[in-house]
């Protein structure tokens, strides 16, 4: 474990061992400014010897890996867990606001499209993840004199993931080509037959059922299934939603990463012009060549350019949590 050190002016220096930090504190030559990671600030002038430190960041939609290394040693390493509840909370807030408006403003017609989104607007769930990357990089720069910064980003071809043989103008001809809406496409895909009873109920009225909640799963065809009205009511009344699974795995993370990557890079570049980009296949190759395990923090160590640095005894885990509850402030 290392103790991070700041000079008199709050600028980062090279970290020291706990024994030396204890002596500085006992002799009143330093003060504690942060508990996690443990950081002290010197109360006297120091020469400020610094080594070149490289920071590697493994960007992600659920977890971020980070590793600050020298040529021989890992100084700071760990992971950050991002929030995944924002979309659900916003959907709940939207439903409550709609209900409140219908109760208190019944005297006027509902308004639509009366707000404009600024240029560069991102959905709140994605904006949080972009901000979390920037917050992490700023925090590490406050602790260590970083000279090199590398971020791993990824670009996903969603159509290629769905259909590996796609090419040419097939990118412009999706599954729903020729259908009026998603509902019509889902009925056609399921052959206008209830996917639960296979027509045994003799109910000719068909409904579209959301496998995951509409608030989190959306209206994509792989989250929809055809049910007759009898089975639809039965499943909701008896809470049998677990009987169905999505037609294919969700591509939400891949879509978000494709959107986030340039927002992260451009925002970081404004503050730290020396930032560089790298890609996952390079990180994987470095990790395999050096026989390292697959973890976000280890990937970040490979991204930093010093995969064989001496591993730290302490690996940090930061978790992003909700700041407050607007209904019941804590």
Q: Is residue 180 domain-resident?
A: yes
What is the percent of the chain with per-residue pLDDT over 70, rounded to a whole number? 97
Contact residues for 4 (Cβ-Cβ < 8 A; gap 6+): 12, 15, 34, 37, 38, 39, 40, 76, 143, 144
Q: Is residue 130 domain-resident?
A: no
Q: Is residue 186 domain-resident?
A: yes
Q: Is residue 101 domain-resident?
A: no
By residue range, what is the domain housing residue 36?
1-50
State the total domains in the chain: 2
Q: Is residue 157 domain-resident?
A: no
Rounded to two decimals, the pTM is 0.82
Contact residues for 314 (Cβ-Cβ < 8 A; gap 6+): 1
pLDDT surpasses 90 at 46: no
Considering the chain, what is the average pLDDT of its residues? 87
Q: Residue 18: pLDDT band by 50, 70, 90 thresholds?
A: very high
User: Residue 301 and residue 293: Cα distance in Å, rounded?
Assistant: 11
Give me the mean pLDDT over the 146-159 stretch.
Answer: 85
Q: Is residue 200 domain-resident?
A: yes
End residue of a domain, out of 33, 50, 67: 50
User: Residue 300 and residue 312: Cα distance in Å, rounded?
Assistant: 13
Picking from 90-104, 167-181, 314-328, which range would have the lowest pLDDT averaged per residue?
Answer: 167-181
pLDDT surpasses 70 at 329: no
Q: Is residue 193 domain-resident?
A: yes
User: Residue 302 and residue 65: Cα distance in Å, rounded?
Assistant: 11
Residue whose entry in the numeric block shows the structure tokens 């939400």 = 252
Instruction: Give yes or no for a cis peptide into 33 (omega within 30° of 0).
Output: no
pLDDT surpasses 70 at 289: yes
pLDDT surpasses 80 at 114: no
Q: Is residue 98 domain-resident?
A: no
User: Of 105-114, 247-256, 278-287, where does the model show the most confidence?
Assistant: 278-287
Residues 192, 226: contact at Cβ < 8 Å?
yes
The SS3 call for residue 55 is: strand
Higher pLDDT: 308 or 178? It is 308
Residue whose entry in the numeric block shows the structure tokens 């890992």 = 74
Q: What does the pLDDT look like over 167-177, one tens digit per residue?
A: 777 777 777 77
Number of Cβ within 10 Å of residue 184's Cβ equals 13
Closest Cα partner for 53 from 69, 40, 65, 66? Answer: 69
The SS3 call for residue 251 is: coil
Closest Cα partner for 149 from 315, 272, 15? Answer: 272
Main-chain phi, psi angles of 45, to 5 degrees? -70, 140
Give me the mean pLDDT over the 115-133 stretch.
Answer: 89
Number of Cβ within 10 Å of residue 119's Cβ equals 5
Res 17: pLDDT: 92
- Give the DSSP letter of residue 44: S
Residues 50, 145: contact at Cβ < 8 Å?
yes
End residue of a domain, out of 210, 227, 243: 243
Give me the mean pLDDT over the 36-40 stretch.
Answer: 92
Q: Which helix (H) or strand (E) holds 74?
A: strand 74-81
Q: Which helix (H) or strand (E) holds 33?
A: strand 30-34
Give me the mean pLDDT over the 298-305 stretch.
Answer: 93
User: Residue 181 and residue 175: Cα distance in Å, rounded?
Assistant: 11
């Amino acid at each position: 474990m290392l103790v991070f050190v700041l000079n008199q002016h709050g600028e980062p220096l090279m970290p020291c061992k706990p024994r030396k930090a204890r002596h500085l504190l006992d002799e009143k030559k330093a003060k504690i400014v942060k508990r996690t990671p443990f950081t002290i600030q010197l109360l006297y002038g120091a020469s400020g010897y610094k080594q070149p430190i490289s920071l590697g960041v493994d960007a992600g939609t659920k977890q971020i890996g980070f590793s600050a290394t020298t040529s021989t040693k890992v100084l700071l390493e760990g992971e950050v867990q991002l929030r995944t509840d924002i979309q659900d909370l916003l959907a709940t807030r939207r439903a409550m606001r709609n209900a409140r408006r219908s109760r208190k403003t019944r005297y006027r017609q509902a308004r639509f499209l009366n707000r404009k989104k600024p240029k560069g607007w991102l959905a709140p769930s994605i904006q949080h993840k972009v901000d979390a990357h920037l917050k992490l990089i700023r925090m590490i720069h406050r602790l260590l004199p970083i000279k090199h910064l590398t971020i791993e980003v990824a670009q996903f071809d969603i159509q290629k993931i769905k259909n590996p043989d796609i090419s040419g103008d097939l990118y412009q001809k999706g599954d729903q080509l020729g259908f009026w809406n998603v509902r019509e496409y889902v009925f056609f895909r399921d052959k206008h037959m209830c996917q639960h009873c296979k027509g045994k109920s003799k109910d000719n009225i068909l409904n579209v059922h959301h496998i995951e909640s509409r608030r989190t799963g959306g209206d994509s065809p792989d989250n929809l299934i055809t049910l007759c009205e009898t089975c639809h009511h039965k499943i909701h009344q008896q809470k049998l939603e677990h009987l169905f699974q999505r037609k294919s795995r969700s591509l939400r993370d891949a879509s978000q990463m494709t959107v986030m990557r340039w927002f992260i890079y451009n925002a970081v570049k404004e503050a730290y012009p020396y930032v560089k980009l790298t890609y996952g296949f390079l990180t994987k190759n470095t990790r395999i060549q050096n026989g390292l395990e697959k973890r976000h923090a280890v990937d970040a160590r490979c991204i930093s350019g010093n995969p064989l640095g001496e591993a730290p005894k302490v690996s940090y885990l930061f978790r992003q949590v909700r700041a407050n509850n607007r209904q019941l402030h804590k």
